């Protein structure tokens, strides 16, 4: 039961996000446009969480995805939404600031 809860929340063994990026990963920032304009990872795609379900056609299912936001809460919700819609390789990257090392 605990492993199921951890899986649903995206909590578990640390994933090497640099490996995910090396394998063609994309970063989806789910903050608002105003937050995104205040600073973001270069090369990331800004799709606010409130709009994500209506924008799924813009996201390829054959690429690994890392979601991010300000703290990791919205990116966790985004990860769950993507997984529920058939995306297979989705990771919660937490805060966008921690992903700046992956800038394209």
Per DSSP, the residues of 37-81 read: HT---TT-EE--HHHHGGGGGGS-TTS-EEEEESSSHHHHHHHHH
Residue 2 pLDDT grade (very low, low, confident, very high; cuts 50, 70, 90): low
3-state secondary structure of 84: helix
pLDDT above 90 (res 67): yes
Note the pLDDT of residue 102: 84
Domain hosting residue 77, numbered range: 2-102
- In the chain, the number of structural domains is 1
At 73-89, the pLDDT tens digits run 999 999 999 999 999 99
| Distance separating alpha carbons of residues 26 and 78, to the nearest angstrom | 14
At 12-34, the pLDDT tens digits run 557 899 999 999 999 999 999 99
CA distances from 61 to 23, 44, 53, 81 (A): 14, 16, 14, 13
Q: What is the residue-averaged pLDDT of the chain?
A: 90
CA distances from 63 to 1, 23, 37 (A): 29, 8, 25
User: For 50-54, what is the mean pLDDT?
Assistant: 98
pLDDT above 90 (res 1): no
Domain CATH code at residue 59: 3.40.250.10
Is residue 41 within 8 A of residue 21, CB to CB? The reply is: no
């Amino acid at each position: 039961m605990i492993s199921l809860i951890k899986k649903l929340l995206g909590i578990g063994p640390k994933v090497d996000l640099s490996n995910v990026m090396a394998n063609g990963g994309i970063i989806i920032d789910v903050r608002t446009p105003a937050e995104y304009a205040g600073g973001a990872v270069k090369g990331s795609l800004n799709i606010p969480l409130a709009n994500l379900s209506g924008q799924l056609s813009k996201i390829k299912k054959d690429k690994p995805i890392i979601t991010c936001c300000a703290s990791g809460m919205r990116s966790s919700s985004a990860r769950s939404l993507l997984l529920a819609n058939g995306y297979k390789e989705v990771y919660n990257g937490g805060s966008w600031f921690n992903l700046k090392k992956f800038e394209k």
